[in-house]
């Protein structure tokens, strides 16, 4: 692989000696042109990581390498990053054009070039007509796009987005996702994106770094993180999950590349099928089944494990069930075209063995 | 897709978010709002009228009387008393000195207090509230006591002069009291807590993210200060300047004690005329000049802040 655009090497931030570090020996490599989401609950260290990359915060230890060059000790104003803040941080005493021109002014660009680039940046976010407006009069979505234009106009080495969508209402957030992604792809700006919203990360990112307690639990493509989570935390944080205790009974041969099919024993479900890494026979593992992969059969003669419906939630697109099997409740999401079960009904649950995944053993932490 | 758990925050209201008017209904409710306003404001306005407006009118009326050499007041309606200070170069100098003293005290006070206020606003130390309390603690002591303190410190054998002489920096004690230098030093210290308080309350607009955004866009620390911090704190700085200016040109105790009779400003002249010479009409005339001075400065302040679009 060629030199990564950004490499974080053992990056560590400890706010106070004695306290657990906010970011703990974090290692990550980001490819040129990729949009990488730093995803995790609040307090997981994602914003701290972003601020260290921006140069707004000094790491306690470790290195930040951009294009093969160590920039750890370079001050923020010489890093050439483009940052978009959660609150947008538009300068209230400047109009839209002056906000966008700020970075170019600091780079002492001649006026003609400055005007041209500001115009192009505003056109890119389709807000050219607002150039002379005051920033206070703009809506949240407009402010957000101006902040993006201001960060991109300087052609930053990295685009850093700190929860850029969380101050927008739900509908706008969704359309802005697509817009940010499109602009990012058009400009080819390598982007770090901090979010606590897993949908956002899955939708927009080329790679997702799921963070927890200052560590990256998993770094991979969205589908990989969703389908093949490395830890229980990742499985639960990304999407909804049924996590079952499974004892692996027998190896039933290969399933795709590097994986095996197994017979497993699950309390309440008896003998079922699952896939996982090789060499799990005899081991006990956590088994993940996504709710929409669980099939709900209302016909009492059907195959599968019997359970009692505890609650039903109808959303139009699908029906969500909570079904008690043995002493634990499981989630299932079924299409709305079949019969819809009612609370108290006995249904049978099963799934395609290929969609039940045995998590790798968790490291001691 | 699975359900997200994030909370939608309503977007900032823009001009097009304002609800449309409701014609008659809106008109009626506005009239009721106005009635409520007057009902609530009446007790305060009445109090102000009795304790402030009436005495002020009485004072202005007094300026049209004539003071007689024997201390009696001739009830009349003349412009002589008001015109007298305007034709006397001595009072022009006193007025100018008053104005300059106000400017110098306000300027020094604001310049010294600004970094302190900025530091206190930004501090994330757990001792922050203690530091703020310390900064405004001088207000717990009366200005008279603090003025006497300064007389002791600045006097010929005081702390400052004895230190300077011990160090061999001066051979003759510096004259730091009974002149304008002493008055300025005393007033600056006495008004600093006010300047700090006014500025801190005005610095709320300064979001540290703005400074970070500027730095990330390539602004060196000095450029961040000049282009972001200073412009955004300028309104608070100007309010503090105005307040300290008004307080210093109307201050009497500190000016009188530290000036030791050698500093002549409008406040001391008014006192001398009113209590020494018992010439109330002339004291009132000088007070009117002081009021006009206030008015002029406030008008300048308003024009400046509006020009700079800093009122927001």
Q: What ipTM score was computed for the predicted complex, to two decimals?
A: 0.85
Note whether B216 contacts A76, CB cutoff 8 Å.
yes
Instruction: List CB contacts of B147: < 8 A, sequence separation 6 or more.
Output: B186, B190, B253, B254, B257, B258
Instruction: Give mean pLDDT, residues B74-102.
Output: 92
Residues of B with CB under 8 A from a CB of A: 1-4, 6, 8-12, 14-17, 205, 207, 209-210, 212-221, 223-224, 227-228, 231-232, 309-310, 312
Which residues of chain A are within 8 Å of residue B231 when distances are taken between CB atoms?
A: 93
Q: Which of A87, A140, A172 sits opposite B207 (nearest CB)?
A: A87
- What φ, ψ does residue A356 adopt, rounded to 5°? -105, 125
User: Chain A 240-279, CB below 8 Å of chain B: which residues?
Assistant: 240
> B230 to chain A nearest CA, in Å?
11
- Crossing angle of helices A111-124 and A140-152, in 10° steps, is 130
**Angle CA(B73)–CA(B74)–CA(B76) in degrees, nearest 5?**
135
Instruction: Give mean pLDDT, residues B123-133.
Output: 89
Fold entry, domain A6-236: Rossmann fold (3.40.50)
Q: Which residue has 């009779």 as its token pair?
A: B261
User: Chain A 286-315, CB below 8 Å of chain B: which residues?
Assistant: 291
* A130/A133 Cα distance (integer angstroms): 5
Note whether B14 contacts A138, CB cutoff 8 Å.
yes
User: Chain A 194-223, CB below 8 Å of chain B: which residues?
Assistant: 196-199
Q: Which of B17, B207, B223 sits opposite A106 (nearest CB)?
A: B223
- From first to last of its 365 residues, chain A has per-residue pLDDT tens of 578 999 999 999 999 888 889 999 999 999 999 999 999 998 899 999 999 999 999 999 999 999 999 999 999 999 999 999 999 999 999 999 999 999 999 999 999 999 999 999 999 888 999 999 999 889 988 999 999 999 999 999 999 999 988 888 888 888 889 889 999 999 999 999 999 999 999 999 999 999 999 999 999 999 999 999 999 999 999 988 999 999 999 888 888 878 999 999 998 888 888 999 988 888 889 999 999 999 888 887 788 888 999 999 988 888 899 999 888 888 999 888 878 888 988 898 888 888 899 998 765 44
Does the structure show a pLDDT above 70 at B1?
no
Which residues of chain A are within 8 Å of residue B213 when distances are taken between CB atoms?
A: 83, 85, 89, 91, 150
Note whether B309 contacts A93, CB cutoff 8 Å.
yes
Q: All domains of chain B, ordered by start, with CATH?
A: 58-307 (1.10.3720.10)
Which residues of chain A are within 8 Å of residue B205 when distances are taken between CB atoms?
A: 92
- If one counts every other C-beta atom within 10 angstroms of the C-beta of residue A14, the result is 16
Residue-level pLDDT at B51? 94
Q: CA dihedral in degrees (B109, B112, B115, B119; nearest 10)?
A: -90
Pairing assessment for the beta strands A260-266 and A328-335 based on DSSP bridges: unpaired
Which chain A residue shows the shortest CA-CA distance from B207?
A: A89
Which residues of chain A are within 8 Å of residue B17 when distances are taken between CB atoms?
A: 139
Q: What is the pLDDT of residues B26-45, one digit of tens each?
A: 666 777 888 899 999 999 99
User: Chain A 106-135, CB below 8 Å of chain B: which residues?
Assistant: 106-107
Residue-level pLDDT at B277? 87
Note whether A168 contacts B11, CB cutoff 8 Å.
yes
Note whether B15 contacts A80, CB cutoff 8 Å.
no
Instruction: Give mean pLDDT, residues B54-73.
Output: 90
CA-atom Rg of chain B in angstroms:
26
Residue-level pLDDT at A137? 86
At B10, the pLDDT band (50, 70, 90 cuts) reads very low
Which residues of chain B are within 8 Å of residue A102 when distances are taken between CB atoms?
A: 214, 217, 219, 227
Residue-level pLDDT at A37? 95
Note whether A197 contacts B4, CB cutoff 8 Å.
yes
Q: Which of A87, A136, A197 sits opposite B6 (nearest CB)?
A: A197
Residue range(s) occupied by CATH 2.40.50.140 in chain A: 240-358
- What φ, ψ does residue B266 adopt, rounded to 5°? -60, -40
Note whether A89 contacts B220, CB cutoff 8 Å.
no
Which residues of chain A are within 8 Å of residue B218 when distances are taken between CB atoms?
A: 77-78, 80, 103, 106-107, 154
Tokens of A282: 């005899």
- If one counts every other C-beta atom within 10 angstroms of the C-beta of residue A43, the result is 14
Tokens of A182: 């499109």
Query: In CATH, which of 2.40.128.110, 3.90.45.10, 2.40.50.140, 3.60.10.10 is domain A240-358?
Result: 2.40.50.140
Note whether A239 contacts B2, CB cutoff 8 Å.
yes
Strand-pair partners of B66: B74
**Angle CA(A353)–CA(A358)–CA(A362) in degrees, nearest 5?**
175
At B24, the pLDDT band (50, 70, 90 cuts) reads low
CB A359 within 8 A of CB A229: yes
Which residues of chain B are within 8 Å of residue A240 when distances are taken between CB atoms?
A: 2-3
Which chain A residue shows the shortest CA-CA distance from B10?
A: A169
Tokens of A226: 């969703």
Instruction: List CB contacts of B187: < 8 A, sequence separation 6 or more.
Output: B101, B105, B109, B248, B251, B254, B255
Q: How far is CA A316 from CA A313, A322, A334, A336, in A?
A: 9, 17, 11, 7
Residue range(s) occupied by CATH 3.40.50.300 in chain A: 6-236
- What φ, ψ does residue A311 adopt, rounded to 5°? -155, 155
């Amino acid at each position: 692989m060629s030199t990564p655009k950004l490499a974080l090497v053992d990056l560590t931030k400890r706010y106070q000696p004695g306290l657990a570090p906010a970011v703990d020996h974090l290692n990550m490599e980001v490819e040129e042109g990729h949009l990488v989401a730093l995803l995790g609950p609040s307090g997981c260290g994602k914003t701290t990581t972003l601020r260290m990359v921006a140069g707004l915060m000094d790491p306690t230890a470790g290195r930040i390498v951009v294009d093969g060059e160590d920039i750890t000790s370079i001050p923020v104003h010489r890093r050439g990053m483009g940052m978009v803040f959660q609150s947008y941080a538009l300068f209230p005493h400047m109009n839209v054009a002056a906000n966008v021109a700020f970075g170019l002014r600091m780079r002492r660009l001649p006026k003609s070039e400055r005007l041209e680039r500001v115009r192009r940046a505003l056109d890119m976010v389709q807000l050219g007509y607002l150039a002379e407006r005051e920033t206070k009069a703009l809506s949240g979505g407009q402010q957000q796009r101006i902040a993006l234009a201001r960060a991109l106009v300087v052609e930053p080495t990295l685009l850093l987005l700190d929860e850029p969508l969380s101050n927008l209402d739900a509908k706008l957030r969704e359309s802005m996702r697509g817009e940010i992604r499109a602009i990012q792809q058009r400009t080819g700006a390598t982007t770090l994106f901090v979010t606590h919203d897993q949908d956002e990360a899955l939708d927009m990112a080329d790679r997702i770094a799921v963070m927890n307690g200052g560590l990256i639990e998993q770094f991979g493509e969205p589908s990989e993180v969703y389908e093949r989570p490395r830890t229980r935390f990742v499985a639960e944080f990304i999407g909804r999950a049924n996590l079952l205790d499974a004892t692996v009974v027998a190896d039933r041969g290969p399933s795709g590349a590097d994986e095996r099919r197994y017979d497993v024993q699950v309390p309440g479900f008896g003998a079922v099928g699952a896939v996982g890494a090789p060499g799990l026979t005899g081991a006990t593992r956590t088994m993940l089944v996504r709710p929409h992969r669980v099939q709900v059969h209302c016909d009492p003669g059907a195959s599968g494990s019997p359970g009692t419906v505890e609650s039903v939630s109808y959303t139009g697109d699908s029906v969500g069930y909570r079904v008690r099997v043995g002493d634990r409740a499981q989630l299932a999401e079924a299409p709305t075209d079949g019969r819809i079960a009612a609370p108290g009904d006995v249904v049978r649950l099963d799934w395609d063995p290929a969609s039940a995944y045995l998590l790798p053993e968790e490291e001691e932490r | 897709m699975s359900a997200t758990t994030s909370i939608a925050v309503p977007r900032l209201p823009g001009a097009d978010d304002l609800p449309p008017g409701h014609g008659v209904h809106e008109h009626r409710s506005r009239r009721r709002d106005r009635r409520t306003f007057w009902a609530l404001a009446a007790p305060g306005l009445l109090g102000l009228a009795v304790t402030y407006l009436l005495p002020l009118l009485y004072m202005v009326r007094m300026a049209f009387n004539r003071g007689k050499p024997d201390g009696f007041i001739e009830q009349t309606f003349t412009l002589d008393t008001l015109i007298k200070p305007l034709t006397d170069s001595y009072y022009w100098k006193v007025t100018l000195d008053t104005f300059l003293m106000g400017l110098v005290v306000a300027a020094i006070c604001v310049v010294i207090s600004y970094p302190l206020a900025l530091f206190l606003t930004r501090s994330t130390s757990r001792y922050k509230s203690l530091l703020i309390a310390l900064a405004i603690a001088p207000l717990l002591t009366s200005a008279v006591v603090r003025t006497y303190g300064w007389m002791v410190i600045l006097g010929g054998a005081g702390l400052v002069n004895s230190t300077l002489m011990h160090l061999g920096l001066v051979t003759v004690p510096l004259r730091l009291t009974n002149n304008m230098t002493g008055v300025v030093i005393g007033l600056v210290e006495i008004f600093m807590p006010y300047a700090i308080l006014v500025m801190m309350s005005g610095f709320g607009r300064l979001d540290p993210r703005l400074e970070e955004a500027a730095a990330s866009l390539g602004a060196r620390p000095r450029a961040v200060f000049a282009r972001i911090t200073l412009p955004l704190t300028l309104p608070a700085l100007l309010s503090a300047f105005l307040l300290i200016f008004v307080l210093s040109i109307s201050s009497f105790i500190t000016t009188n004690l530290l000036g030791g009779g050698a500093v002549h400003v409008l406040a001391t002249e008014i006192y001398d005329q009113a209590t020494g010479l018992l010439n109330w009409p002339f004291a009132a005339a000088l007070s009117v000049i002081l009021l006009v001075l206030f008015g002029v400065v406030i008008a300048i302040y308003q024009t400046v802040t509006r020009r700079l679009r800093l009122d927001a």
